[in-house]
Amino acid sequence: MLNLIKKEIALCMHPTAFIFLFFAVLVFVPNYPYEVIFFFSCLSIFFCCMMTRENGDIAFSCALPVKKEHIPFAKMLVVFGLQCIILFLVGVIAAIKGAVLPAEQYVNQAGISANLVLVGNGAILLGTFNLIFFPRYFKNPDKIGVPFVIGAIVVFFVIGVFIVLRWVTPLYSTTLNGLNSENTGAKSVALAIGIVIYAVLSAVSCKLSIKNFQRVDL
């Protein structure tokens, strides 16, 4: 499995997979829907899958001494790793922003502030994308467009839901909004819920993807 992961990183990663990680600094942009940062992560997955197809990687991998089910699993583990990095970076850079900018500049008019809840929301978005994209992609790895478009539509819908919640519910507009130092307990719970949802959705996605890939004829 480790060899497959190394091969993925060496031969199948599109440069955007790493470049888009730096988009975590977008939390410094004032009045911006920060959840969009996580969409870039989804976009990089699309580019990596394109690269996998253009490189004939799946046929190459299947001829290696590995079990067929290991192939989607390794690909998804690499993606999960990248997703964890972007979540971590957003959390860290958001904390830096909170520490260096005056409180009034921390308020976000376009959505929730850059705080722990944003990381939780991001985890839910990424988990949702994983659940929608990967099982469809591994049903037919040559067709990447349709799974991505469906995944992107749902991701933007969920982003919309988060923005609406920010303005219409007191929980999101006051308790979970603002600096991490305010209502830290509630924000930590929101983050934990987001991470649990991410883990569950990604695990289900993994199981479905492996099942679908077993039926694929190359």
Partner 1 sequence: MNALEVRELTKVYPEFTLDKVSFFVKQGHISGLIGRNGAGKSTTIKGILRLINAEGSVSVFGKDFLKEEMVVKQTIGYVGGGFRYYPMNTLAAIRKAYAPFYPTWNQSKYEKFLSQFELIESKKVKELSEGMKVKFALALALSHGAKLLIMDEPTSGLDPLSREEFCDIILQLVREEGVSVLFSTHITSDLMRIADDIVYISQGKILAACPLKELLCKYKLAHFSSLADASAVNAIGVKAVKKGYEGLLPRDMQISESIAVTDATIDNIIVHLEKENEEKKHVKSN
67 lies in the site for partner 1, by CB under 8 A: yes
Q: How far is the CB of 119 from partner 1 (least distance, A)?
A: 33
Q: How far is the CB of 81 from partner 1 (least distance, A)?
A: 17
Mapped onto helix, strand or coil, the DSSP state of residue 125 is helix
66 lies in the site for partner 1, by CB under 8 A: yes
- In degrees and rounded to multiples of 5, residue 61 shows phi and psi of -65, -40
| Subset of residues 155 to 214 that bind partner 1, contact rule: CB under 8 A | 214
Q: Is 1 exposed, middle or buried (0-12, 13-18, 19+ CB in 10 A)?
A: exposed
Q: How far is the CB of 140 from partner 1 (least distance, A)?
A: 14
Q: How far is the CB of 2 from partner 1 (least distance, A)?
A: 8
Mapped onto helix, strand or coil, the DSSP state of residue 32 is coil
| Subset of residues 27 to 56 that bind partner 1, contact rule: CB under 8 A | 54-56
60 lies in the site for partner 1, by CB under 8 A: yes
Interacting stretch for partner 1, rule CB under 8 A, among 22-30, 60-68, 136-144, 188-196? 60-68
C-beta contacts of 93-98 below 8 A and 24+ residues apart: 93/24, 93/25, 93/27, 93/28, 94/27, 94/118, 94/119, 94/180, 95/180, 97/27, 97/28, 98/179, 98/180, 98/181
Which residue, 39 or 213, is less far from partner 1 as judged by CB?
Answer: 213
Query: What does DSSP assign to residue 66?
Result: S
Q: How far is the CB of 54 from partner 1 (least distance, A)?
A: 8
For partner 1 (CB under 8 A), the number of binding residues is 22
Which residue, 22 or 60, is less far from partner 1 as judged by CB?
Answer: 60
- CA 199 from chain centre, in angstroms, equals 11
Residues that bind partner 1 (CB under 8 A): 3, 6-7, 10-11, 54-57, 59-60, 62-68, 214-215, 217-218
